[in-house]
Amino acid sequence: METPFAFTVHCVKRARRHRWKCAQVTFCGADEQLCQLWLQTLREQLDNLMCRPKHLLVFINPFGGKGRGKRIYERKVAPLFALAAVTTEVIVTERANHAKETLYETDVHKYDGIVCVGGDGMFSEVLHGLIGSTQRSAGVDQNEPRTALVPSPLRIGIIPAGSTDCVCYSTVGTNDAETSALHIIVGDSLAMDVSSVHHKGALLRYSVSLLGYGFYGDIIKDSEKKRWMGVIRYDFSGLKTFLSHHCYEGTVSFLPAQHTVGSPRDGTPCRAGCFVCRQSRQQLEEEQKKSLYGLESSEEVEEWKVVCGKFLAINATNMSCACPRSPRGLSPAAHLGDGSCDLILIRKCSRFDFLRFLVRHTNQCDQFDFTFVEVYRVKGFQFVPKQAEEEEGEQGKQGLGQTCAHHAPCCCAASSSSWNCDGEVLHGSALEVRVHCQLVRLFARGIEGSPKPAPRR
């Protein structure tokens, strides 16, 4: 019997809980020329796949999470990149904003994508560097809230190595490094909204996951003082903030996202090939075309809604914000690329009721089914704390429409909170936020699988 000739094809095998694994299939044949023909044809077909990256710039945060970033990349990711003939330029960051500064100084067009190895903070740093350098090259003023930002042609890949890995979990469905590496190799692409956060005419930061005031703002501010505790500091600060039970008075004004085809409580989560994101993008483009040609005015005639009161928390989410601790996230039906964010207002309530609300983030019950919780799908909003209203008078209310004339005295110990912007502290309380539809693209395809049934009430 003749010795067969063989070649091996490496492929993706789907595993449980949205994980991907690298698998092998070996083909055998008695004809060497036929095997070589198959090899040549397969290689040509792979080379013709323009969506697959060939050269990547990789940033590794060696300090984030539990300090496992470098080890995870070297053991789980680098061998897969080598197997797929993906060349890389690796930079191990040495300080805060190292990646952001590098992206501003580097000609990124010679790469097919940017990969960050770390947690949500590392992703945020790369995001700011890529968006900022793109706007600078295009001559766009990022400080103007209504400016149409220019999307970057490069995709961002996330290798999870942080504490929560919220962005990765919400876009892939798992925080597994091998799965994320395989999504990068096959060249998946997923468009994602980005919110710009402004204060007094200046850009503060960009946000892609959570922008939280009150409860989540107090947690992140307190945890910054306890970095020596490691990741457990979030649990400690969370308990401390819950027991403090501070509420904050102010005015929230928002512009409803009338272009979207979904709602925050429709029970329809964002999935791969999402119809809601695709349809909402089309309707938003139609609105913008009508405004451009003068057929309809845009924000000047759109009615801003105003809500006043005392709030335990004000949260704005561009995505579900799912993570291993909260598998459905803060807003389970939030969509990644529909040009809107879900604005969640938790009014003053008892400590027991607030605990009931928090517990629902860990189960299948509807977390918005409380009288003290309001949720809106918006494409922009503004917040002015009562303290700023009193100091600035009518000047702080311009452009906000009708506002409350009278407020009951605040019973809280603290007069104002801080904002939690994707895990970073923003100290200015008065903000204006705008959502930019599908501004960046990731090496991902969205969470695969059919949507789960609507939550129990």
Work out the average pLDDT over 359-374.
92
Q: Which residues pair with 380 in a beta bridge?
A: 255, 434
Q: What confidence score (pLDDT) does residue 49 get?
A: 87
Work out the average pLDDT over 137-164.
92
Q: Using CA atoms, how far apart are residues 233 and 229, in angstroms rounded to an integer? A: 5
Judge whether residue 31 has pLDDT over 50. yes
Choose the catalytic residue: 120, 176, 222, 422.
120
Q: What confidence score (pLDDT) does residue 408 get?
A: 40
| Token pair belonging to 404 | 């409350």
pLDDT digits (tens, 9 = 90+) for 430-455: 999 999 999 999 999 999 875 454 55
Give 438's DSSP letter. Answer: E
| Token pair belonging to 191 | 């468009």
Helices 233-244, 215-224: crossing angle, 10 deg rounding = 130
| Token pair belonging to 426 | 């923003």
Q: What confidence score (pLDDT) does residue 456 get?
A: 54
Q: Using CA atoms, how far apart are residues 427 and 438, in angstroms rounded to an integer? A: 27
Q: What confidence score (pLDDT) does residue 296 get?
A: 55
| Token pair belonging to 324 | 């291993």
pLDDT digits (tens, 9 = 90+) for 44-61: 998 888 899 999 999 999
Nearest to 298 by CA among 261, 251, 336, 259: 259
Q: Using CA atoms, how far apart are residues 207 and 325, in angstroms rounded to an integer? A: 21
Lowest mean pLDDT among 108-112, 166-170, 240-244, 411-415: 411-415
What pTM does this model have? 0.87
Who's near 179: CB < 8 A, 6+ residues apart? 18, 19, 20, 172
Nearest to 103 by CA among 120, 126, 82, 70: 126
Judge whether residue 403 has pLDDT over 70. no
Local confidence band at 312 (pLDDT 50, 70, 90 cut-offs): very high
Nearest to 149 by CA among 443, 444, 438, 441: 438
User: 381 to each of 227, 240, 312, 390, how far by Cα in Å?
Assistant: 32, 29, 18, 20
Q: What is the average pLDDT value for the chain, to the nearest integer? A: 87
Q: Using CA atoms, how far apart are residues 58 and 165, in angstroms rounded to an integer? A: 17
Q: Are 440 and 192 in contact (CB under 8 A)?
A: yes
Q: Using CA atoms, how far apart are residues 55 and 35, in angstroms rounded to an integer? A: 28
Work out the average pLDDT over 416-420.
91
Local confidence band at 427 (pLDDT 50, 70, 90 cut-offs): confident
Local confidence band at 94 (pLDDT 50, 70, 90 cut-offs): very high
Lowest mean pLDDT among 106-115, 190-199, 231-240: 231-240
Active-site residue, 120 included: yes
Number of H helices, E strands in the chain: 12, 16
